[in-house]
Copies of this chain bind each other. A is one copy, B any other.
Amino acid sequence: MRPLPRQISEDVVKYKIAPEKDVDCFSPINVSKVMSGDNDGFAPCTPAAVIEILDYYGIGLEGKRAVLIGRSMVVGRPLAMMLLKRNATVTICHTRTKNLPQETQRAEILIAAAGKARMVTKDMVSEGAVVIDVGINFDENGKMCGDVDFDSVSPIAGQITPVPGGVGSVTSTVLAKHVIEAFKLQQGL
């Protein structure tokens, strides 16, 4: 699972790891499956956790405007593909996006994966939007926080995930699930 220890290069490992053991989607075989919407590989754990949360709470994605902040290979890009597979209309924003609030205000489902403490403020979120916070940051007081300013955003959001205790917790569970699936694959179960 990412991040790897410094002495191990992901660019080397990704070509060597067996796709059926690749529980956090390093292998191009699995990356390619995520991109093409083929569910029989392993998706990266964090975006898979986001989808699990949306499913668990019965939040439909069909035809919804989903806006992502962040375009990493760990979250933003694969999650965009996974949301597309669920028939959402997907917008991917990032550091170079002009007028970010204008984009995020349009979101019915807003997913923050920017890695910047409390950057999503109240004025960026529409009344009733579902807000999923993927960020894990530490503020100036060393307190863990997400990419979303929870206190100001939660009164207007329809639903919102906290940090800690939100996506991160589910990600660990997804990892465990993937490990079990990988075991089954290798045992032909």
A98 contact set on B, CB distance < 8 A: 63-65, 89
Closest to A61 in B: B96
Interface size classification for chain A: 20 to 34
Query: How many angstroms between the C-alpha atoms of A29 and B14 in the bound complex?
Result: 10
| Closest chain B CB from A13 CB (angstroms) | 13
A97 CB-CB contact with B under 8 Å: yes
User: Which of these, B29, B31, B36, contacts A73 with CB under 8 Å?
Assistant: B36
Query: How many angstroms between the C-alpha atoms of A84 and B33 in the bound complex?
Result: 19
| Closest chain B CB from A33 CB (angstroms) | 8
A110 CB-CB contact with B under 8 Å: no
Question: Which residue among A32, A33, A96 has the maximum number of chain B CB atoms within 10 Å of its CB?
Answer: A32
Could you list 25 examples of A-B contacts with CB < 8 Å? A14-B32, A28-B29, A28-B31, A28-B33, A31-B36, A35-B77, A35-B78, A35-B81, A62-B96, A63-B96, A63-B97, A64-B98, A71-B84, A77-B81, A80-B80, A84-B92, A87-B96, A89-B91, A89-B92, A89-B93, A89-B96, A89-B97, A89-B103, A90-B92, A91-B91
| Interface residues in chain A, defined as those with a beta carbon under 8 Å from any beta carbon in chain B | 14-15, 28-29, 31-33, 35-36, 62-65, 71, 73, 77-78, 80-81, 84, 87, 89-94, 96-98, 103
